[in-house]
């Protein structure tokens, strides 16, 4: 068999194999990048009769500020703005077997950098099928004159994932699909108050999860307006991923966050948190950043002195690479009138003399743990 025949035979075998599930293809990259790619692919198939008279903009999303992907009806619609001369467009996504679910979420984001997208975009997705066992499909709607029993009302309340207030993972997530599924569940839980994801070894996959927090807002009150506690300790989070997370705070996506745990990661600075506080004072009362590789506290100290963390009372910075210079800076925020009550500073590179000096200058209400 010649080389050409061998290649042809291999192509036939590849073509005869079953196509991968749509989740593998759709969730391979970040959600918003996939949306842009999908939109461009449909834009290339549009007929000449539907094209506007003016030259096309840099991105097809400029003409279509609303993008909707609906896996329940297996279709995708793009709705033009009221001033657009074009009519409604739709396209079919075939070759997938997603079971329908009742839940949807919507991401609204500002312009996407380097993609020429200037208008608001909405993305509607059902919760991933891997979460179906935790999200029961609501029963058939009752008749108008039918009064529900107390048991039926409680059952409907239990089945509504939007009422969920706590998400806690007992076992580490192993695949990207699981992370994306969790992201969608978070976005569909506007009443979420506590999100515990400790020691999940997310690493690079954490970007996908953070996108659910920073890509946009579900309402004018913020993406997760009720989230109070976010625990991301032990997830191999680096400075770049931490900066992405802080975008959610800067954009007001987490307006009531009071406890942030980013300990046991790979952070070298807390400057992104300080920058997020420049937009508006944050309601953080507990910040846990121990067991990282922090070398300076200047940014956090300056933001605290400037009143950007008015409610901060507990600070964990133990087990970092901080020196006596950081203790000097910390002395500015532990004096009289400080909101801080407890500061954990052990296992750093502090000398005994510098620690004693900090203790002497601290207010009586401040407890230093070292």
Q: How far apart are the first and last CA of the chain?
A: 75
CA 340, CA 117: separation in Å to the nearest integer? 43
Q: Is the pLDDT confidence value at 129 over 60?
A: no
Q: Is pLDDT larger for residue 288 or for residue 252?
A: 288
Q: What is the pTM of this model?
A: 0.57
Q: Is the pLDDT confidence value at 144 over 80?
A: no
Q: Is pLDDT larger for residue 230 or for residue 104?
A: 230
Helices 31-43 and 206-214, packing angle to 10 deg: 80
Helix (H) or strand (E) holding 45: none
Q: Which residues contact 350 (CB under 8 A, 6 or more apart)?
A: 322, 323, 324, 326, 327, 370
Which residue in 235, 246, 234, 236 sits closest to 270, CA to CA?
Answer: 246
pLDDT of residue 172: 67
Which residue in 349, 96, 109 sits closest to 251, CA to CA?
Answer: 109
Phi, psi of 230 (to 5 degrees): -130, 115
3-state class (DSSP) for residue 66: strand
Tokens representing residue 269 in the block: 């600075």
Averaged pLDDT for residues 150-175: 53
Tokens representing residue 135 in the block: 């999200």
DSSP 8-state secondary structure symbol assigned to residue 18 = P
Averaged pLDDT for residues 103-111: 32
pLDDT of residue 338: 83
Q: Is the pLDDT confidence value at 89 over 70?
A: no
Q: Is the pLDDT confidence value at 64 over 70?
A: no
pLDDT of residue 327: 92
Tokens representing residue 258 in the block: 């009071």
Q: Is the pLDDT confidence value at 281 over 50?
A: yes
**Local confidence band at 335 (pLDDT 50, 70, 90 cut-offs):** confident
Average pLDDT, the chain: 64
3-state class (DSSP) for residue 79: strand
């Amino acid at each position: 068999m010649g080389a050409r025949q061998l290649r042809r035979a291999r192509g036939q075998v590849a073509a005869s194999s079953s196509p991968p599930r749509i989740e593998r293809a759709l969730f391979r990259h970040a959600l918003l990048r996939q949306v842009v790619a999908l939109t461009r692919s449909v834009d290339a198939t549009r007929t000449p009769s539907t094209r506007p008279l003016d030259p096309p903009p840099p991105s097809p999303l400029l003409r279509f500020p609303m993008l909707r992907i609906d896996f329940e009806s297996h279709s995708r619609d793009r709705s033009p703005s009221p001033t657009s001369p074009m009519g409604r467009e739709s396209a079919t996504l075939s070759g997938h077997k997603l079971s329908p679910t009742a839940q949807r979420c919507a991401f609204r984001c500002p312009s996407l950098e380097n993609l020429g997208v200037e208008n608001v975009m909405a993305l509607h997705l059902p919760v991933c099928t891997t979460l179906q066992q935790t999200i029961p499909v609501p029963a058939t709607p009752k008749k108008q004159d039918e009064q529900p029993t107390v048991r039926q009302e409680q059952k409907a309340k239990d089945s509504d994932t939007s009422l969920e207030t706590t998400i806690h993972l007992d076992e580490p997530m192993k695949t990207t699909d699981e992370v994306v599924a969790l992201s969608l569940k978070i976005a569909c839980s506007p009443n979420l108050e506590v999100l515990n994801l400790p020691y999940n070894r997310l690493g690079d996959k954490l970007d996908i999860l953070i996108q659910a927090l920073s890509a946009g807002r579900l309402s004018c009150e913020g993406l997760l307006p009720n989230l109070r506690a976010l625990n991301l300790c032990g997830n191999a989070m680096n400075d770049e991923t931490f900066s992405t997370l802080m975008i959610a705070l800067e954009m007001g996506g987490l307006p009531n966050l009071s406890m942030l745990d980013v300990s046991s990661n790979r952070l070298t600075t807390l400057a992104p948190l300080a920058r997020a506080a420049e937009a508006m004072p944050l309601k953080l009362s507990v910040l846990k950043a121990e067991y990282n590789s922090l070398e300076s506290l200047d940014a956090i100290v300056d933001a605290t002195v400037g009143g950007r963390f008015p409610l901060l009372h507990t600070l964990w910075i133990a087990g970092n690479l901080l020196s006596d210079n950081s203790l000097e800076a910390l002395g500015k925020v532990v004096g009289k009138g400080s909101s801080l009550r407890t500061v954990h500073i052990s296992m750093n590179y502090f000398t005994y003399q510098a620690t004693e000096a900090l203790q002497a200058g601290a207010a009586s209400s401040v407890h230093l743990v070292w």
